[in-house]
Amino acid sequence: MSLTVLPVTAMTAETGAGGPQGEARAWPQRLAALSGWRRLGLAAVCGGLASLAMPPLYLLPLLVPAFVGAFWLLDGARTGRQAALTGWAFGTGHFAVGLYWVGHAFLVDAERFGFAMPFAVGGLAAGLALFPALAFWITARSRLTGPARVVCFATAWLLGEGLRSWVLTGFPWNLMGSVWAFSSETIQLTALGGVWLLSLITVTAATAPALLAGRPGRRHRIRGFVAVALLLPALSWGYGAWRLAGAPAAGTAMVEEVRLRLVQPSIPQALKWRRDLRAEHVRTQMRMSLAPGFENRTHIIWAETAIPYLLSAEPVLQRELTAVVPPGGFLIAGAPRVEPDKPEGRIWNSLYALDDSGRIAATFDKVHLVPFGEYTPLRDLLGLAKLTAGSRDFSPGPGLQTIDLPGLPAFSPLICYEIIFPGKVTAPTAQGRAKGGAEGGAEGDRAAPRWLLNVTNDAWFGDSSGPYQHFASARMRAVEEGIPLIRVANNGISAVVDSYGRILDQINLNDRGIIDTELPEAATGRTIYSHAGNWLYLVELFLSTCVIFVLRRFV
């Protein structure tokens, strides 16, 4: 026999009209019976509650009423269309609250773009809400009940997150597993199955208590399932604690002869591209780079577009910057790039490595561009300009790459939100890790990255949740890949994160400062996720589907 939800009248007859137990069991029917704007409004409120579990608040207990309420609303959906609308309302509330900070970017130049802020936030939320709508529709169409329905819902949610990470170049921001980014122990599970596995566990655990208000039949099995579902996050924490117990103590495994200086100048976005201030911005970062201790540094790293000039077309500036390049080392910094012989041609958002002679030793062009921020989709049709400085759209780079510079372990450069894409933060041709940082040492392993470098400029989003959410995603990638992360942001959060996701040092949001650090070593063995990548996502979808069929038959 499968668990089914009784109509309000049937439940009243079975449990009695009075008493707290009867009242508790009546709640699912009350929510399920809602219609019209009340149903959609409550679904949006539930979605907003769920977003409060995201960084930086991490109000995890709110996930339970959010997903339980949404699940009860879903139970009352009479058609697939009504279920999809309920899911769309949930998603709209979830993304509107979780991504409100996107609106800050439109206020940097409020005179030109301020009018678009509500349309941008609302439109983004409504568009992304189509993926939760799909999850609700699949669950309703499955006609499953009880534990099988809960796992079906979690699996459909995971499917929606995967599609959201891929469709129209993808936007995997605030995946549900990110709610655990505050816990170094719990996020260790991503080394096994990526953030996807944490998302699946989280939605299952948050939704399962909805079954406790069902009818009394097979209560012991229902309670057992709910207990197991709620235990899953605790087991994840236990695995993480065990993994960290076998890891080197934080800050002890460092690369010899690599001494970095990270520079966070905290330049306000409204001032960053002013022609009368650009030279002073560069001088400020040069002074910070040359602060006491510079003589002991081997590499200096600046943030995304830290140099507000077309550096490849500025040979004089290249020579001037050698003043902050340590002997035999490099200045690694972000700047726009053009072809020197075609300054009016295509333009890229790039990362440069400049040696002590002023020569550009390596460049990387950003691959994942931000719509309306770095380019305008359908520009001729919409008649809109991009938010960033300049009239030209940026061009995407050819793809991810591994940069191998003398005296520095090979690294994977990532500009801005390129760090948020699970399984897509290293070049696809990389097969392993450098000989000193992994088991084995095949010839093909030597080109693989031993660390991630993420340069970014989150000043667009002010003192909001956005930069904290961005940093949380970046930490996840370090654990998934089993390699450390060096993160340099214009206004924060700049940080040194080891290959287990532990923060060794950081500069807080909107602070100005430097970090002098050694480079953490990569983990001694590759993670399962770094081997299999997003194939594990498909494996998790398949296995959770198998669980649904087992639960359907036996629970």
Three-state DSSP string of 100-113? HHHHHHHHCCHHHH
| Choice among 132-141, 365-374, 404-413, 453-462 with the minimum mean pLDDT | 365-374
Cβ count within 10 A of residue 7:
11
Does 387 lie in the same domain as 316? Answer: yes
Residue 432 clears pLDDT 80, i.e. is over it: no
Residue 528 included in any domain = no
Residue 433 clears pLDDT 50, i.e. is over it: no
Kindly state the helix (H) or strand (E) to which residue 195 belongs, with its residue range: helix 190-207
Residue 326 included in any domain = yes
Does 210 lie in the same domain as 113? Answer: yes
Averaged pLDDT, 127-147: 97
Task: Tell me the CB-side half-sphere exposure of residue 290, using CA atoms within 13 A.
Answer: 11
Kindly state the helix (H) or strand (E) to which residue 325 belongs, with its residue range: none
* For the chain, percent of residues with pLDDT exceeding 90: 76
217-242 per-position pLDDT tens digit: 567 889 999 999 999 999 999 999 99
Report the pLDDT value the prediction gives residue 17, as an integer from 0 to 100. Answer: 45
Angstrom distance (rounded) from CA 31 to CA 86? 12
Residue 443 clears pLDDT 80, i.e. is over it: no
Does 161 lie in the same domain as 301? Answer: no
Nearest to 158 by CA among 422, 476, 529: 422
Residue 141 clears pLDDT 50, i.e. is over it: yes
Q: What are the backbone dihedrals phi and psi of residue 106, each rounded to the nearest 5 degrees, phi first?
A: -80, -10
Residue 64 included in any domain = yes
Does 539 lie in the same domain as 481? Answer: no
Does 242 lie in the same domain as 261? Answer: no
Dihedral angle, C-alpha 185, 186, 192, 197, nearest 10 ° = -170
Residue 527 included in any domain = no
Does 144 lie in the same domain as 64? Answer: yes
Q: What are the backbone dihedrals phi and psi of residue 150, each rounded to the nearest 5 degrees, phi first?
A: -60, -45
Report the pLDDT value the prediction gives residue 438, as an integer from 0 to 100. Answer: 38
Residue 378 included in any domain = yes
Does 406 lie in the same domain as 304? Answer: yes
Does 304 lie in the same domain as 436? Answer: yes
Report the pLDDT value the prediction gives residue 235, as an integer from 0 to 100. Answer: 97
Q: What are the backbone dihedrals phi and psi of residue 435, each rounded to the nearest 5 degrees, phi first?
A: -55, -40
Cβ count within 10 A of residue 347:
20
| Choice among 272-286, 336-350, 410-424, 427-441 with the minimum mean pLDDT | 427-441
**Which amino acid, residue 349?**
N
Residue 499 clears pLDDT 50, i.e. is over it: yes
> Residue 4's pLDDT band (boundaries 50, 70, 90)?
very low
Residue 546 included in any domain = yes
User: Please, which residues bridge with residue 261 across strands?
Assistant: 300, 516
Averaged pLDDT, 501-512: 97
- Would you say the C-alpha torsion 143, 149, 152, 154 has a positive or negative sign? positive
Q: Cis omega before residue 493 (within 30°)? A: yes
Dihedral angle, C-alpha 238, 239, 241, 243, nearest 10 ° = 170
Report the pLDDT value the prediction gives residue 5, as an integer from 0 to 100. Answer: 40
* For the chain, percent of residues with pLDDT exceeding 70: 88
Cβ-contact 67, 207 below 8 angstroms: yes
DSSP assignment letter at 41:
H
DSSP string covering 428-440: TT--S--GGGSSS
Point out the residues that are catalytic: 304, 366, 416
Q: Residue 211: which domain range?
A: 13-246+535-554
Residue 262 included in any domain = yes
Cβ count within 10 A of residue 281:
20
Q: Which residue has the tokens 């520079």?
A: 263
Does 241 lie in the same domain as 362? Answer: no
Does 492 lie in the same domain as 385? Answer: yes
Cβ-contact 160, 211 below 8 angstroms: no
Residue 376 clears pLDDT 80, i.e. is over it: no
Angstrom distance (rounded) from CA 278 to CA 257? 33
Q: What are the backbone dihedrals phi and psi of residue 495, each rounded to the nearest 5 degrees, phi first?
A: -160, 160
Does 398 lie in the same domain as 482? Answer: yes
Query: For the domain that residue 269 is a member of, what is the CATH number?
Result: 3.60.110.10
Q: Ramachandran region of residue 142, left (φ > 0), alpha (ψ -120 to 50) or beta?
A: alpha
- Backbone Cα Rg of the chain: 25
187-222 per-position pLDDT tens digit: 999 999 999 999 999 999 999 999 998 665 567 889
| Choice among 15-29, 97-111, 416-430, 480-494 with the minimum mean pLDDT | 15-29
Task: Describe the strand order of the beta sheet including 299-301 as a list of residue ranges.
Answer: 360-365, 342-355, 330-339, 299-301, 254-264, 513-520
Residue 4 included in any domain = no
> Residue 149's pLDDT band (boundaries 50, 70, 90)?
very high
295-333 per-position pLDDT tens digit: 999 999 999 999 999 998 899 999 999 999 999 999 999
Distance, C-alpha 228 to centroid of its chain: 27
Does 292 lie in the same domain as 162? Answer: no
User: Please, which residues bridge with residue 260 across strands?
Assistant: 299, 517
Domain count, the chain: 2
Q: Cis omega before residue 172 (within 30°)? A: no
| Choice among 99-108, 359-368, 429-438 with the minimum mean pLDDT | 429-438
Average confidence score pLDDT of the chain: 89
Angstrom distance (rounded) from CA 135 to CA 158? 8
DSSP assignment letter at 448:
S
